[in-house]
């Protein structure tokens, strides 16, 4: 008998259910004697032993369903070695619950923080297989993460909708896209939505460069300008601050996010009428797009194959359109950033898109 534990950790996104379905279907199609233990609300479920037995019926009809049937939560990696409020050793508790249920493997779906903890559990001797989930597409070792393309679609639609009202009123519009540390989502949605200016964390901006781009468009007869701004976009001035100094600045800032600061500076320096739109958590929600349904299913299927073959300690990813396995120790703790010299950035600039770094 195969006993498989599953959990989804961190922020939710589209295609988590599709990926879990892929794992379970691939295993149960090969073996009839399988038990699936679903841990509730991420690592919390594994720590405190909150789980429920899952059957094939639980995975029927969830290919198109967003969110996660297991629930999710954030349990920061940096706190994993610290006892909880009752003195419980979290890592030891997870190991005990794993062994108590006599699990053969733990399937973990999540992003960067999730993979750090997954690698920790691997180092502690547990059999682990992971799948790359995040709308940020920032996991090392894979070209793509599931949830990313669905989020791009939603953010792009937001930019598309802003275009009509921006053109009607002759305004500057900022669409704030999710992404605190990396700009893949903003970059792709900005290009797909025809944004004129894209500001991402990896390329610090100069507000004067941004205003010059808007001035240039106005002189060329354009009545409006669209900016796609990542949550973590940062000015060249702020990029020179230490992490501590920048955190202090953000604490004292009167703006709810960088987009509102950019809007005020554009108004003051250029005299333009600026509006900010924040799609927010809608980018994580709704049904997965067809690409993510197929992609998550492929990842789940490969994860099932690894489990059937007893190959543990890997993240399942994709390289050059082929599904691969990547050692967890190579993934944990690494971010896949947008390089300022990346070909996609150069191509965007050739199209006339401004990154505020000129």
215 and 174 together in one domain:
yes
94 and 179 together in one domain:
no
CA distances from 238 to 142, 207, 246, 248 (A): 31, 12, 7, 11
8 and 125 together in one domain:
yes
Q: Is residue 181 part of a domain?
A: yes
DSSP 128-166: EEEEEB-TT--BTT-S--BTHHHHHHHHHHHHHHHHHHH
Residues 6+ apart with CB under 8 A from 101: 3, 5, 37, 51
pLDDT of residue 4: 97
Is-catalytic flag, 104?
A: no
pLDDT of residue 167: 84
9 and 136 together in one domain:
yes
Write down the pTM of the prediction: 0.95
Q: Is residue 221 part of a domain?
A: yes
Q: Is residue 349 part of a domain?
A: no
Q: Is residue 338 part of a domain?
A: no
183 and 243 together in one domain:
yes
264 and 320 together in one domain:
no
53 and 90 together in one domain:
yes
- Count how many residues are written for the chain: 358
Q: Is residue 351 part of a domain?
A: no
Domain tally, the chain: 2
How would you write the pLDDT of the chain (358 residues) with one tens digit per residue? 899 999 999 989 999 999 999 999 999 999 889 999 999 999 999 999 999 999 989 999 999 999 999 999 988 899 999 999 999 999 999 999 999 999 999 999 999 999 999 999 999 999 999 999 999 999 999 999 999 999 999 999 999 999 988 888 889 999 999 999 999 999 999 999 999 999 999 999 999 999 999 999 999 999 999 999 999 999 999 999 998 999 899 888 999 999 999 999 999 999 999 999 999 999 999 999 999 999 999 999 999 999 999 999 999 999 999 999 999 999 998 999 999 999 999 999 999 999 999 8
Q: Is residue 346 part of a domain?
A: no
Residues 6+ apart with CB under 8 A from 295: 15, 144, 146, 149, 318
pLDDT of residue 37: 98
Q: Is residue 355 part of a domain?
A: no
Q: How far apart are CA 18 and CA 12, in angstroms?
A: 13
The residue annotated as part of the active site, out of 12, 41, 58, 136, is 136
9 and 90 together in one domain:
yes
Residues 6+ apart with CB under 8 A from 69: 17, 20, 38, 58, 62
Domain residues for the domain of 53 are 2-147+288-331
CATH number, domain of 215, equals 3.40.50.460
Show which of 264, 284, 304 is a domain's final residue.
284
Strands (E), the chain: 2-8, 34-39, 51-54, 105-110, 128-132, 172-177, 197-199, 225-230, 274-277, 314-319, 322-327
310 and 225 together in one domain:
no
Judged by DSSP in three states, 284 sits in helix
Question: How many CB atoms sit inside 10 A of residue 321's CB?
Answer: 7
């Amino acid at each position: 008998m195969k006993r498989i534990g599953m959990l989804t950790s961190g922020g939710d996104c589209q295609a988590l259910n599709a990926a879990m379905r892929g794992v379970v279907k691939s295993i149960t199609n090969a073996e009839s004697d399988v038990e699936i233990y679903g841990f509730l609300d991420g690592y919390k479920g594994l720590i405190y032993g909150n789980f429920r037995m899952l059957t094939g019926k639980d995975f029927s009809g969830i290919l198109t369903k967003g969110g996660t049937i297991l629930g999710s939560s954030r349990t920061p990696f940096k706190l994993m070695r610290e006892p909880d409020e009752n003195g419980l050793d979290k890592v030891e508790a997870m190991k005990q619950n794993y062994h108590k249920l006599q699990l053969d493997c733990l399937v973990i779906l999540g992003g960067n923080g999730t993979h750090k903890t997954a690698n920790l559990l691997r180092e502690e001797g547990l059999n682990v297989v992971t799948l790359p989930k995040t709308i940020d597409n920032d996991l090392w070792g894979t070209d793509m993460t599931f949830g990313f393309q669905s989020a791009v679609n939603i953010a792009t639609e937001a930019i598309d909708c802003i275009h009509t009202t921006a053109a009607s009123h002759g305004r500057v519009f900022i669409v704030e896209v999710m992404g605190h540390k990396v700009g893949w989502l903003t970059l792709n949605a900005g290009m797909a939505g025809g944004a004129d200016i894209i500001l991402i964390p990896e390329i610090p901006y100069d507000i004067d460069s941004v205003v010059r781009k808007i001035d240039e468009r106005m002189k060329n007869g354009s009545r409006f300008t669209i900016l796609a701004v990542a949550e973590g976009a940062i000015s060249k001035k702020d990029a020179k601050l230490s992490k501590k100094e920048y955190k202090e600045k953000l604490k004292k800032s009167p703006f709810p996010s960088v987009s509102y600061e950019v809007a005020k500076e554009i108004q003051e320096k250029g005299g333009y009428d600026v509006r900010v739109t924040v799609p927010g958590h809608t980018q994580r929600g709704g049904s997965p797009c067809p690409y993510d349904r197929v992609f998550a299913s492929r990842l789940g299927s490969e994860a099932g194959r690894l489990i059937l073959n007893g190959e543990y300690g890997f993240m399942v990813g994709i390289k050059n359109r082929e599904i691969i396995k990547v050692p967890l120790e190579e993934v944990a703790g690494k971010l896949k950033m947008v390089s300022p010299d990346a070909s996609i950035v150069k191509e965007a600039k050739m199209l006339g898109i401004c990154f505020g770094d000129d």
